[in-house]
Amino acid sequence: MHIFENIIDVKNFLKEKTDSGNSIGFVPTMGALHEGHSSLIKLANKENDITVCSIFVNPKQFNNKEDLDKYPRTLTNDINILSKLNCDVVFTPSTEEMYSEPIKENFDLGELENILEGEFRKGHFKGVAIVVKRLLDIILPDKAYFGKKDYQQLLIVKKLVKLEKMPVEIIACDTVRENDGLAMSSRNKRLNSSQRKEAATIYQTLLKVEKLCKEKTLSLENIKKRVYDDINSLSTIELEYFEILNPENLKPLESVNTGKKAIACIAVYAGSVRLIDNIIFNY
C-alpha cells in the first residue's frame, strides 16, 4: 500500500497507473474508519484496478469548532485497516497541502444546500463541495464512492459533478449498521454507555415510520408528531429535525397516498454528539 501526503506525489503515481490503462476507484473519508467505510473500499476494490482512499478532516465543512476539535483521529489504526483491505493508495494531506493554492470556492448548489443539514449546519455543504471538487481534481477517479447514510451529501456531490462536468461516476453505497441498528459513524466513539444504548432507538424509530407510512392510517403530520414524542421521551437524546421527503430532491411529499419512494431523515443530539440517519422506502 502506498501512502502519500503530497498532491504532486499522488498525482504522479496515479498518472502512471492510468497511462498504463488502470481504472481508479476513490473513497474520500475523514478517517476513524469503521465497517461502513470498509464496505465502500471493498466495493471500490471489486469495481476498479486501483483503489484510493483519502483521509482528511476537512475544516471547511465544520460549522462547530468543538465538533472539529473532538472529531476522532486514528491514523495508525486507519492505515492498518486499509492495508488489510488491500487498498492500493492512501492520500493523507495536511490542511495546508489541500488549501495552499487558490481554488474554486463557489458552486451554485441551489436550495439543496440550505435545507435539513444545510439549515442546521450553516456552510457545511459549501465546505463539502470545495473539498470534494479539490479531491476529485487531484485523484481523477473513474468512480467515487459515497454512503447513503449522508444522503443529502450524496445528492450534493451528484449535483456538483454535473455542474462542473466532472468525468466521474458517483456510486451510492448502502448504510452499514451495528447489530442493534445504529448506523456506523466515526462520532459513535464519542457516545457514553447510556447515550449509546438509547442511540439504537434512532433506527428503530425510522423502521416504525416506514411501517406507519405503509399502513396509511396516520397523516404525515401525525407520524412526525409520534417521532418527536418518541425521541423526546428519551433521557439522553434530543431531536434536531425529522422529515419525510421525496428522495429525488428532498422536497416535501404531498401525502402518504401517492405510491412512490420516500425518505425519512433524522438528526439528533446525544449530549454534544450529533448523529444523523435515514431510511428509504416504497409506500
Q: Which residues are catalytic?
A: 37
Tell the smallest beta-carbon distance from residue 228 to ligand AMP (Å).
25
Strand 261-270: give its sheet, edge to edge: 237-245, 261-270, 273-282
185 lies in the binding site for ligand AMP (CB under 6 A): yes
Tell the smallest beta-carbon distance from residue 16 to ligand AMP (Å).
27
Please identify, using beta-carbon distances, which residue of 78 and 113 lies nearer to ligand AMP.
78
Tell the smallest beta-carbon distance from residue 178 to ligand AMP (Å).
9
141 lies in the binding site for ligand AMP (CB under 6 A): no
What's the rounded Cα separation, in Å, for the pair 278 and 268?
Answer: 12
Residue 261 to residues 125, 246, 257, Cα–Cα distance (Å): 24, 7, 11
Please identify, using beta-carbon distances, which residue of 128 and 256 lies nearer to ligand AMP.
128
Please identify, using beta-carbon distances, which residue of 73 and 224 lies nearer to ligand AMP.
73
Tell the smallest beta-carbon distance from residue 21 to ligand AMP (Å).
27
Segment 31 to 90, residues that bind ligand AMP, using CB under 6 A? 36-37, 39-40
190 lies in the binding site for ligand AMP (CB under 6 A): no
Please identify, using beta-carbon distances, which residue of 56 and 283 lies nearer to ligand AMP.
56
Q: In residues, how long is the chain?
A: 283
Please identify, using beta-carbon distances, which residue of 8 and 172 lies nearer to ligand AMP.
172
Among 51, 152, 175, 195, binds ligand AMP (CB under 6 A): 175
What's the rounded Cα separation, in Å, for the pair 67 and 112?
Answer: 23
What's the rounded Cα separation, in Å, for the pair 4 and 138?
Answer: 12
- Other Cβ atoms less than 10 A from the Cβ of 5: the count is 12
- Return the closest-CA partner of residue 114 out of 101, 123, 105, 106: 123
Sign of CA dihedral 214, 216, 242, 114: positive
Tell the smallest beta-carbon distance from residue 175 to ligand AMP (Å).
4
Segment 144 to 163, residues that bind ligand AMP, using CB under 6 A? 146-147, 149-150
Residues forming the site for ligand AMP (CB under 6 A) = 29-30, 36-37, 39-40, 146-147, 149-150, 173, 175-176, 183-186
